[in-house]
Structure 1
């Protein structure tokens, strides 16, 4: 969101003037405190580091924490280096353990260790537990602060327990029920406790929990979380013992990160670690240059194909006119199939074992698309350039659409099978592959039909 209010513009002007005096800083603080959190986050993300630090320092503690928690972890790490030691300590202490772990990932090891040792024993233990899981594991995003109930409690006792400890956990709307070894037995919703007779045992109220293991992949768990329409999900270890809970805000963050990553790679780039306007130019270049080089090298295949069929082009020059149309159609058809299958993989609608069904589906879709476009191509090009050229165009469009649809649907599944990110097989890569292959199909059909 871009700040548009007069107050936001005033704050930006004050920051640009590099306020130093106490009066200037007080004016900045007054103006900044009237802005909503979303505009303050935008300003901190998009202003230079020194200006962002000045703005952050004049905010009150609660507002500063709300802004800090809304920033991506890489941006948090950069802001930390520009803040006063005491302010850093206050922020780190108030963060949830999972948010703290994400921040520590971005900090130099020495800084992270110093901040970790500055925490009290309980907070340090919870943060260390979260840091012990791999970055892609859901355990890295759970909150270890969980309010649990025992099966032998009555509903009345359970409500009293919730009231006494309501400020400690991240959520109280879903309450795990565990035995003495913390093995998960089930869950109880807060609403059910409120409407149940106080003498009913919690064990009788508990129902089976939709849960995940701490080492499970974060994206798969987050997708399951939303598919089940949950507010919170218990996370257990390999022996079924409760170790934390995944809340809806953390699940949203995971999906947003995955979608951002997939979107960037589909476009042939790496995701930026922070907001676009605050990312240094060289970092933006690095995020794009690798894929551009890969695609440029792979595009040489297209040039080689044209060189092989150069004599056919010399004989029938009109064939060159249709090359952009055919390569564009093949690339677009492949991109559509790849995007559809990649999304289906992400939401669990398709699995690797469904590969034959996906190929069969895309074969039929490609042939139908090719039949429609081929018929149109035959009619239009036939009227202008003759029946022979129309036949070449019709057969080529039919063949290219069928091939591109199959390739586009197949590549994400192959990527998943070999453990790669399906989004890496991005649309530009598929376009380049379909360009070269489509030209081979085109000139092969032209050679046969026109007798070249």
Structure 2
């Protein structure tokens, strides 16, 4: 069902058929259509959704459309939506909304939910506690399988996941059991007989990205979260982990491109916000490039003696920047997926040097032949440029692989050592290497 067909039903006031169509659609598909409609059409369609479906659609919408919807809904309609939302999703929505909208949303929730929301809002922004869900299935070790299944039937409808249940004793996590094990075990068996005591868990103040990586690494549906007293306080589910990894990847890509991270969508961000995110990096890189200009000025006499030297500068700087960017991208990716750690720095450098030697030999050979043919069979010039090429590529690979590792060690985001910054650093280093080699070769 596409946008045009939805609009036709709206214009024909065929609400009964439209309601049936919406019931058969996935909430994500509905969100995509709603975000293309104007405010009035969006509100009309949203009001046709069933309560459960409306809550899912509301959670998945972008913040601007969601705010429009909140302003249009009555208090009772808003209360119905909030009742169907999970607490962690509610917290995510509140964090994106302005203060006046947050107040209205909180008024639409019951007192018990507000207490849970306030507790989650107190955790640091990027911590596991800030994204965890406090709704989970808790069992006792002395329960029978039949008791456990009965409890899941009674309270499972209000929980985000029931596939993994956690066994607690005085709120302390002592084990876990899958629903599959409950359904295949004898009803008279006790939970302590079938539970797994080796439980992977995270703490409330752990970095959310580390928690998401743990879920991904071990293929978990959810991971339990314990507080400083080792009490179970919530779970982080795989869908929340995927969103965290997506946000972290988006942030890294932005930083690698020399753009300040921005949580809003591309089209949802104003021109001035885009400009504000990009200008500081560009300003820094532009000013740092003046060092390269000063070095070129220092070698002005050498260039006056051999003007041809100037023609090779763009090629060498471009090659150095590209080689450095290749290495840094691979290292940043390795750090992101946990494949590379700081302790591997010497292994990484040794490997990159060998790669650089192979790559630089091929580039120097091809470039040497080109120079020999184009510049009057000048062997000295070919050799000088060949040696410069080898030195530049080796240097670029070493710098490109080392800087992200050092950034990680210092607690910085390795992505800041990506293409724009490394290229600027290498431009300066390339000029120094190049003119030192050619002035030595030609005695100028």
TM-score by length of 2: 0.89
C-alpha separation in 1, matches of 2:49 and 2:233: 35
Q: Deviations over 1:94-118 (max 9, x none)?
A: 2211111122122233442443243
Work out whether 1:433 is the aligned partner of 2:406: no
Cα-to-partner distance string for 1:54-92 (whole Å, 9 max, x where unaligned): 664565544432322223456644653454444333333
Distance 1:424 1:13 in 2: 49
Per the alignment, residue 201 of structure 1 pairs with: 190
Aligned residues of 2:120 and 2:129 also touching (Cα < 8 A):
yes
Which of 105, 110, 127 does residue 137 from structure 1 map onto?
Answer: 127
In 2: Cα distance, 1:12 partner to 1:305 partner: 64
Q: 1:424 aligns with which of 416, 422, 432?
A: 416
> Which consecutive residues of structure 1, in runs of 5 or more, have no partner in the other structure?
15-22
Q: Is the 8 A contact 1:374 1:394 kept in 2?
A: yes
**Cα-to-partner distance string for 1:296-330 (whole Å, 9 max, x where unaligned):** 22222222222222222222222222222211111
Large movers: runs of 4+ above 6 Å? 48-51
Equivalent position of 1:267 in the other structure:
257
**How far, CA to CA, are the matches of 2:45 and 2:264 in structure 1?**
18
Comparing 109-118 and 92-101, the one that deviates more: 109-118
**Equivalent residue number for residue 8 of structure 1:** 3
SS of the residue corresponding to residue 239 of structure 1 reads: coil
Aligned length: 438
Deviation string, structure 1 residues 379-417 (Cα, Å, up to 9, x no partner): 332333321121122111211111111111122222222
C-alpha RMSD over aligned residues:
2.7
Given candidates 326, 330, 335, the residue that maps to 1:340 is: 330
By how many angstroms is 1:198 displaced? 2.1
Seen in structure 2, the aligned counterparts of structure 1 residues 444 and 51 have a Cα distance that, compared at 3 Å, is farther
Separation in 1, partners of 2:210, 2:324: 25
Could you tell me how far apart the structure 1 residues matched to 2:370 and 2:380 are? Answer: 12
Distance 2:331 2:362 in 1: 22
Structure 2 stretches lacking a partner, 5+ long: none
Partner of 2:109: 119
Counterparts of residues 251-266 of structure 1 (less than 5 Å): 251-266=241-256
- Match of 1:166, SS state, is helix
1:448 aligns to 2:444 (yes or no): no
Does 2:92 align with 1:97?
Answer: no
- Once the two structures are superposed, the pairs formed by residues 68-87 of structure 1 within 5 Å of their partners are 68-73=58-63, 76-77=66-67, 79-81=69-71, 83-87=73-77
Task: Write the distance in 2 (CA, Å) between the matches of 1:107 and 1:251.
Answer: 22
Pairing partner for 1:170 from 136, 155, 160: 160
Matching residue of 1:405: 397
Contact 1:152 1:201 in 2 (8 A): yes
Q: Secondary structure at the match of 1:238?
A: coil
Deviation of the 1:247 alpha carbon:
0.9
Sort the Cα spacing of 1:31 and 1:311 in 2 relative to 1 into closer, same or farther, 3 A.
farther
Change (3 A) 1:199 1:63: closer
Q: Within the alignment, does 1:184 sit opposite 2:173 as a pair?
A: yes
Residue aligning to 1:20: none
Aligned to 1:390: 382
